[in-house]
Amino acid sequence: MLHCVIPQPKRSATHPPPRPHLSDQPFYGFRNSIRQHIDAKTKVTSQKTTALGRSISKSTPTTTTSSTSNRYRPSLANPPRPKAKLILKAKPEAAVKAPINTVGCGDAAPKEPACKKPTVDRSNRRLLRPYRRSLPLLPLLTRSYPALSVRLLNQSVRREKTGRLERLLQAHLEPAANAVKWAWPNESTLQAHVDFLNIRWRLQLEKALARAAAGSSSAGTLHRQRTLEESRFMWSSWASLDDVSLFQDQLRDIEPLYTLKDLTKRIMEFPVPEEWCADSSATAKSNISYWLHCPLPLPDWDELRGTFVELSPLYDNYCADYFEEDYKEVQDARDGRLNRVLKRRDVLSAVKLCRLGCSASNRDATWSLILRDKTQEEAQYKRLLAEFVRWEVFLDWVMLQSVMDTVGNAEQFFNFVTQMQQVMQLFQRDPAVVERLEVGLLLEPLGVEGEEADQNGDEPRHPKAVSDRTSPYPPNGVIPFHEMSMYAGPLAYVCIRTKPCYFMFREFYCRYFQFLHHLSTHPQSILPMYALFENLLHSREQSVWEHLRVKLAVHPAKYVVPWLTMAFSSFIEIDQLLVLWDRIVGFGDLRVLVLLALGIFILRGKVLLKCKTSREAGAVLSDILNVEVVPLLQLALFT
């Protein structure tokens, strides 16, 4: 009886009309269909609710490519002054249409759909104004970062520029810290806020990076050309990168820049208005944030069921159980079908079959057909290898250590340490990644001057070079977190050799994983996904939700966010994980992760209800190694 009275989530009143659904659109059968779907979705959202933050986030990279090289020549002597004109140029609509449609606050107030014509509300303008004015300035300020050596970055930048930045940020953070008192009635204000926090985070990371580099044996050099001997040595140790004793000197004081825990904490302590979690007073006092009533447009059950219709028990889903009675016969039939499709190189059918799951032996071929473009790979791989031999990036050492500590200690992956080291080393210096980053790169990446490159008369090595003398740092634009290599680990079971494994990983990262560890309001990124999780859990298992929140004071984010952020890698058994990733590739939709998390909560709901302390609940939620993916997805969606 507990489920009978389910209050409709309050946001539904202000909820924008459901977006046109994926399955309504004609399905594109070519390679990039999934990419386009995601793009289409983003476009729809950003059109409907004019998104300040989003437009900035999307526009920044484009502005930089088009206009930076002649406009901002980074020089420390005269720090660039913010130019208001530029901002307008960069994103006219963002500045003009900055949505200020605040609709009062609290539960009773929201009456207007978010997509209505923005109305100006003076009370909230105060909050927005400083933000609007300075947010686009931040990239300008940071352009002065291309401190060629970290020493510069450390001394002058930290003291002068970052001091200013710091003060600027402080001005904005003050309201943010008090945000609990305010209502954020619509998505775009949230977006702005998220982007803002993101920038702050990026600055912190860059500083941490500089500090780490300064403290390490590389003495502050972020990026340099290797000497001939070093190059030879690196080349000879390419096949034995798992042997860290070779690099003892370099690895001495290396520590991860940030970890999964930091990411989780950021979300748990994300300042949100009280109203979002207004259905009980118990949490109002704590500084933990809940996302139940956040104004993001979230899909409802019908939409989810429509998106993931192939998961329903009516379809013949493959769940990788070798011990099933009929495993062999079913699998033979399925393999036959998939092999025919692969032979024809029929992407459309491959995607459809991939949604039902692939088998271990043809997963590689299927995923490659859907995701990879093999034409350029050979040349790119060679170039990356050459870069590995020639250039030393400080983050290499951080990464080497991280891979040893994560993949090297994981029961599922320890046999693939060498391969993972190679993959991550290549990843660090791949300029193709930076072009495809969509979230988390609100700031232009840190620039590094190619000192040596000049002497050799090389052309700028990266297409995204900030000027012809500097190139983004790290070359792929991603400041790695400690557990990042766990994204690549499972792919070792799919692609046996380093080269295909690397390109598969790059596709996975650029299409999916980049959304999982950056704060953003992109519907596939971690914040909306976690908000979706809370909503679904609240509507499905309200008793569990309440029990956890009120009685035990357990924040589900503590467990769920790591699952989602890592796409469950290393949390569940590898065969099941690949079955799950089949669905990610097939549907091109990361929300399947949310469904699995929900399934786990439903499955363990009864046990959770019996828990009397938060420790017990923690024990129930922290061990999910044995879950089975397909039954749980079905349980979450179709029961």
Question: 103 vs 491, which CB is nearer to another protein?
Answer: 491
Question: 86 vs 494, which CB is nearer to another protein?
Answer: 494
* Minimum distance of another protein from residue 75's CB (angstroms): 49
* Minimum distance of another protein from residue 621's CB (angstroms): 9
Neighbours of 285 (CB within 10 A): 7
* Minimum distance of another protein from residue 48's CB (angstroms): 24
CA distance 273 to 175: 12
Question: 187 vs 364, which CB is nearer to another protein?
Answer: 364
Q: Where are the beta strands (DSSP E) in 209-344?
A: 223-225
Candidates 613, 609, 583; CA nearest to 596 is 583
* Minimum distance of another protein from residue 413's CB (angstroms): 9
Question: 45 vs 366, which CB is nearer to another protein?
Answer: 366
Helix or strand run (H / E) with residue 446:
strand 446-449
CA distance 94 to 133: 11
Question: 140 vs 492, which CB is nearer to another protein?
Answer: 492
CA distances (Å), origin 311, targets 22, 463, 526: 15, 42, 22
* Minimum distance of another protein from residue 502's CB (angstroms): 17
* Minimum distance of another protein from residue 242's CB (angstroms): 9
Candidates 621, 626, 465; CA nearest to 72 is 465
* Minimum distance of another protein from residue 405's CB (angstroms): 10
Binding positions for another protein, rule: CB under 8 A: 1-4, 6, 301-302, 313-314, 316-317, 319-326, 328, 330-331, 335, 359-361, 363-364, 408-412, 414-416, 418, 493-494, 496, 573-575, 578, 603-604, 606-607, 610-611, 616, 619-620, 623, 625-628, 630-632, 634-635, 639
CA distance 469 to 607: 60
Question: 174 vs 332, which CB is nearer to another protein?
Answer: 332
* Minimum distance of another protein from residue 5's CB (angstroms): 10
Residue with tokens 């060679």: 382
Tally the C-alpha atoms within 13 A of residue 403's C-alpha that lie toward its C-beta. 28
Question: 358 vs 465, which CB is nearer to another protein?
Answer: 358
- Report whether 579 contacts 512 (CB < 8 A): no
Q: Residue 392 forms beta bridges with which residues?
A: 224
- Whether omega before 136 lies within 30 degrees of 0, making that bond cis, reads no
* Minimum distance of another protein from residue 240's CB (angstroms): 9
Max Cα-Cα span within the chain: 76
What Rg value do the Cα atoms of the chain yield, rounded?
25
- Report whether 193 contacts 53 (CB < 8 A): yes
Question: 172 vs 583, which CB is nearer to another protein?
Answer: 583
Question: DSSP states of 119-183 as a string?
Answer: -B-HHHHHHHHHHHHHTTHHHHHHHT---SSHHHIIIIIIIIIHHHHHHHHHHHHHHHHTGGGS-
Question: 22 vs 635, which CB is nearer to another protein?
Answer: 635
Neighbours of 230 (CB within 10 A): 14
